[in-house]
Chains A and B, each alone.
Chain A
Amino acid sequence: MAVTDPAGRKPPTDPAGREPLIDLRGVSRHYAIGGGTVKALDEVDLRVDAGEFVVILGASGSGKTTLLNVIGALDSPTAGSLAIGGREITAARRRELFALRRHEIGFIFQSFNLFPGLTALENVRFGADVAGRDDARDAAQAVLEQVGLGDRGAHFPHELSGGEQQRVAIARALAAGNPIVLADEPTGELDFTTGVQILELLHGVTHTAGTAVLVVTHNREIARVADRIVELSSGRVVSDEPNEPAAMSDLRW
């Protein structure tokens, strides 16, 4: 599926790439549960540049979703520092974190989380509206066409298939025009063919628009499409290697 540059997209925070878009240094996230402490993240270092397609791979309970939540400013690290777009946000105030999410980050969820009361087009427009884009309506339509659903804009989520719903969710994240897209198990609810289409779509976005895409998954096959694979275990980064992306047609799961 071809992806073209949607109108009005913002450039990554650091086009030159000299400064990482995402920069985690010694980030830990501990939870007090019962009488003990769970180390969901333990001194994680991670740098992601604009235009990278990174897969965070790990088994259940490895801390990958916590990592995504910390990067997405939904959760705060217990220790370490976190910078997004060159800006230190570890001690940012609640209001600043909300603004950061509006202007720097887009989310894609496993169960889509579309708004059932809005049509597909309006769901996509939501992303653009929240980011404060003046051309929200046009941008939403353009992005919806880019994900191949230009003719489905008037349909409500419950009238769409799972794959279509996830494409709408991707379009919503892209419509914000933010430099970072975080996807939490985006193919978890989809069949193989649809999952591949979704990955192809995300891949295209990374390379045509320079967006940094972080995909969290437990599925090693999905990791094969990444530019880089970061593997977590027990909250620690156990490997962080560049990867030669496999062709989509080679994927099996």
Chain B
Amino acid sequence: MTRGPRFWLRWSWRDLRARWPLVIAIGLLLAGGIGLAAGLASMRDWRIASNDASFASLRVHDLRVEAEPGSYAPAGALARAARRIPGAGDVTAASERLIVPTQLDASAAAPTTVITPGQIVGVETTPSHTIDGVEVTGPPVDSVAVRDGAGLPASGDRAVGILDPQYADENGIAAPTRIRVAGGERIDIVGLGNSPETFIVIGPGGSFSSEADYGSVFVPLAVAQRLAGRPGEVNDLAVSLAPGADRERIAAELEREISRALPGFGMSVTDTAKIDGRRILYDDADNDQQLFDVFAFLILAGAAFGAFNLISRTIEAQRREIGIGMALGVERRRLAVRPLLLGLQIAVAGVVFGVLVGLAVNAWLRGLLTDQLPLPFVDTDLRWGRFATRAAIGFAIPLLAAAWPVWRGLRVAPIDAIRVGFRSARGGGLAPLLARMPLPGGSLGQMPPRNVLRAPRRTLLTVLASAAVVSVAVSMSGMLDSFRATVDRNDAEELRTAPTRLDVTLTGFVPADTPELRRLGSSPIAERTDARLTIPASLRGPGGEEIDVVVDTIPARDPIWAPRASVGALPRGSGQILIAASAAEDLDVTPGEQITLIHPERVSRDRFRTAETTVTVSGTHADPFRFPAYMSAAGARTFGLAGQVNAVGLLPPPGVDENAAKRALLTEPGVATIESASALGDALEQGLDEFAAIIRVVVAIAVLLVLLIAFNSTAINSDERAREYATMFAYGLPVRTVIRMAVVESLIIGLLATAVGVALGALILSWVINVSLEEVLPELGVASSLSFATIMLATIAGAGAMALAPLLTVRRLRRMDVPSTLRVIE
């Protein structure tokens, strides 16, 4: 009878019926790991596919000619140059643009006051067309995808525009509506839409801005020229090339041709890779996937440890039956069938539930991506291959988890296996060590720590299972902490003095003693002003490493705010520069060493050229962000702008509201943008709030998994220790006291798991910040940091969930048949 598989299957079926809650519980634990791993596995594919579709559909430029600030070319000149180069045959489209900074006043369109910096993007207009149901309008290169409302009219110079939908959403603006721009002009917003360069909001000079605080308005080219006071001029050219064209060669040809045709026109030619938003979207997809893979692995590992531990213990509980089988002469391989079938049942349960959880996680992530990705075309089709791979791993884990304890159980001599006192009743492990340690309290107080140590392998597995899951919560929450700490460090430096000051960008370069500036300084909304230059530039280190910076000159007299040198000294003369510590690290220089400043240099009123100047690093400042750099007022000579300024720091008098000051400044001639000193920090804070929502969900899942691990562990504990509990009850120990001891025991394990989880989480966080994030967002100079709140969160997730689990066994203990449990017949 024992030879037929039906016998074992029938017996296994009875096992399943007797143990189905446990099988389901372990299956759910695995399901959490499998589901999250399978769900997260497709994130990269989705994001890359969505990026590809969005950039391709809107014909992102292959090359871009970008004029230096203050440089303009006659309309048509740049496009003509593109048609005259030797490789003109590879140029499939070239579209001129005029891109100017401005201030947007959308207060009339929004529920609250909205006065923020932004940009007007003047573009060629062509008839709209539809791709995959999305209306595409504007220029033939870097087209605009319309999300709501209408596209740009193909002709005419009416002041109509399309507003960035992210800006609109964040500020509660719906199209059609009307907004004002610097100078008081009004634009009728006919639709909401964005183009490849505005998928990610990048402020002037490559700085980061929040979606709520920096808006792009796409208008017909003629309208932009009129609004900017630059009739018949452009400052940008977007070029599309044929597939397989040699970008580098054509870029060089373009640069030569423009320099020849427009002498003194300062510009740079860049390719698609230079689009910060695009780089971030692709790098983010790759790096986030690495992160997701680590998280998925950890959660799967946590589930695997948990499953292994629980299956081991379940099979150990079958040890007597295995022993009896051995005593009756049943072959070991046959005895292995039943426990292995248990592993198989758990594997099947894990995968079945895992697929369901995975599909739910998939649906959640797809919805999240559709909402969060700033892309007009989103491709989140279910990736069955990726899904199946993770599910297969999840299937293999419980089988492997069952094999080891089965092998171990079958190695035991039959007599040992049959004895009740063997193994399960041993007080060995590390418990003897504790016996020599003086512990406070009586036997009841000592029992929990003794129980923790008497089975160190079991404790270790439970600790590792929970710790793996806790580490995910810690590292994710730690990312928020690290960003917040970086923002705080930025605020501490930027808002150190004059925290209410406003940074005003002018529409161009003006003499420092111009009447407009004097009038600004004496206006009722200004208690004090200072003027300076703000120039986007690049720095190249001795090793050739190049980074983007924004160079500010420090006003010579009585600045409202000035940087501090945390190492070295403030810059003096025109040949020194103060840079961020992270910039010095990336450029591999220290104060006193020389680097190359690649910058615009004015050669005539409206003409700039790109120049390289060797400067000495005078020191490093305390701002964590990499892009701020400072030169003395004399540094203006480097840019050919001695005595010129293009930015003003303005300190409103006490009692003047920030919005009122912004509104008043909006109509001042020469003012382009106004933003508060805390704008950058606020932008990052806002981004973090969105990220926090995702983290909360992952942390909630982690807490649930820990609770599941803890509950399973406690449930098996209460099975294994049934006789101990029954003895306690026989001696009159109340259920609450027994539960309290179980809670203390779980709490000790939970605290150990928390400690290991926090340590592991800190390691992962360090990797994320120092390796992964350093590639994606090197500009931010984020340092890994764990807050007290995160540690508390980990403690609640780890120790709290563990400690709570025994409470779930109260009913079982209350209903225990004490006499039957006590009387085990040998």
Contact = CB atoms under 8 A, between A and B. Distances in A.
Interface of A: 65-66, 69, 72, 74-75, 95, 98-103, 105-107, 109-111, 113, 115-119, 122-123, 125-127, 129-130, 136-137, 154, 156-158, 176, 184, 188-189
B436 to A, nearest CB: 8
A117 B819 contact: no
Contacts of B726: 113
A126 B819 CA distance: 20
Given A72-B730, A109-B727, A110-B823, A118 B428 contact: no
A64 to B, nearest CB: 12
Contacts of B243: none
Contact of A130 (B723, B724, B731, B822): B731
B443 interface: yes
Given A126-B444, A129-B444, A156-B428, 13 more contacts: A74-B819, A98-B732, A101-B730, A109-B727, A113-B723, A113-B822, A117-B427, A117-B447, A117-B454, A119-B435, A127-B731, A156-B427, A189-B826
Contacts of B425: 116, 157-158
Contact of B443 (A103, A116, A129, A176): A129
Contacts of A137: 442
A74 B818 CA distance: 7
Nearest to A153: B435
B362 to A, nearest CB: 45
Contacts of B428: 156, 158
Nearest to B723: A113
Interface in B715-746: 723-724, 726-734
B421 A117 contact: no
Given A111-B826, A115-B724, A116-B454, A126 B731 contact: yes
Contacts of A98: 729, 732-734
22 contacts: A74-B822, A99-B732, A101-B730, A101-B732, A102-B732, A107-B727, A107-B730, A109-B727, A110-B826, A113-B822, A115-B724, A116-B454, A117-B454, A118-B427, A118-B450, A127-B731, A129-B444, A156-B427, A156-B428, A156-B431, A156-B432, A158-B425
B656 interface: no
A157 B422 CA distance: 11
A118 B732 CA distance: 18
A163 to B, nearest CB: 14
B56 interface: no
Given A65-B819, A99-B732, A176-B731, A117 B826 contact: no
Contacts of B427: 115-119, 156-158
Nearest to A137: B442
A100 B447 CA distance: 23
Among A101, A103, A117, A137, max chain B CB count under 10 A is at A117
A123 B443 CA distance: 7
Interface in B166-188: none
A184 to B, nearest CB: 7
Nearest to A105: B732
Given A118-B446, A125-B442, A102 B731 contact: yes
Given A65-B819, A129-B442, A189-B826, A116 B426 contact: yes
B660 interface: no
B729 to A, nearest CB: 8
B819 A154 contact: no
A109 B420 CA distance: 14
B12 interface: no
Contacts of B731: 101-102, 106-107, 126-127, 130, 176
A154 B822 contact: no
A122 to B, nearest CB: 5
A136 B444 CA distance: 12
A188 B421 CA distance: 15
Contacts of A74: 729-730, 818-819, 822
A125 B420 CA distance: 24
A130 B733 contact: yes
A115 B727 CA distance: 9
Interface residues of B, number: 34
Contacts of B444: 126, 129-130
B687 to A, nearest CB: 51
Contacts of A100: 732
Contacts of A116: 425-427, 454, 724
B420 A69 contact: no
A130 B444 CA distance: 8
Nearest to B420: A111
Nearest to A158: B426
Given A101-B730, A130-B731, A158-B421, A118 B432 contact: no
Contacts of B822: 74, 107, 109, 113, 184
A72 B726 CA distance: 13
Given A74-B818, A156-B431, A176-B731, A118 B421 contact: no
B824 interface: yes
Closest 7 CB pairs of A and B: A102-B732, A101-B732, A117-B450, A156-B427, A116-B427, A126-B443, A129-B442
B819 A75 contact: yes
Contacts of B432: 156
B451 interface: yes
Contacts of B724: 113, 115-116
A49 B349 CA distance: 59
A144 B156 CA distance: 105
A129 B732 CA distance: 11
Nearest to B445: A129
A103 B734 CA distance: 13
Contacts of A136: 442-443
B319 to A, nearest CB: 15
A66 to B, nearest CB: 8
B450 A111 contact: no
A94 B7 CA distance: 45
Contacts of A189: 826
Interface in B792-826: 818-819, 822-824, 826
Contacts of A103: 732
Contacts of B446: 118, 122
B457 to A, nearest CB: 15
A129 B733 CA distance: 10
Contacts of A95: 734
Among B421, B427, B454, B818, max chain A CB count under 10 A is at B427
Contacts of A158: 421, 425-428
A106 B525 CA distance: 88
B560 to A, nearest CB: 69
Contacts of A157: 421, 425, 427
Contacts of A66: 819
Contacts of B732: 98-103, 105, 130
A126 B446 CA distance: 10
Among B425, B426, B726, max chain A CB count under 10 A is at B425
B301 to A, nearest CB: 29
A161 to B, nearest CB: 12
Contacts of B727: 107, 109, 113, 115
Interface in B392-420: 420
A174 to B, nearest CB: 12
Interface in B684-726: 723-724, 726
B442 A118 contact: no
A56 B426 CA distance: 32
Nearest to B425: A116
Nearest to A140: B443
Contacts of B733: 98, 102, 130
A65 B426 contact: no
Contact of B451 (A75, A113, A117, A125): A117
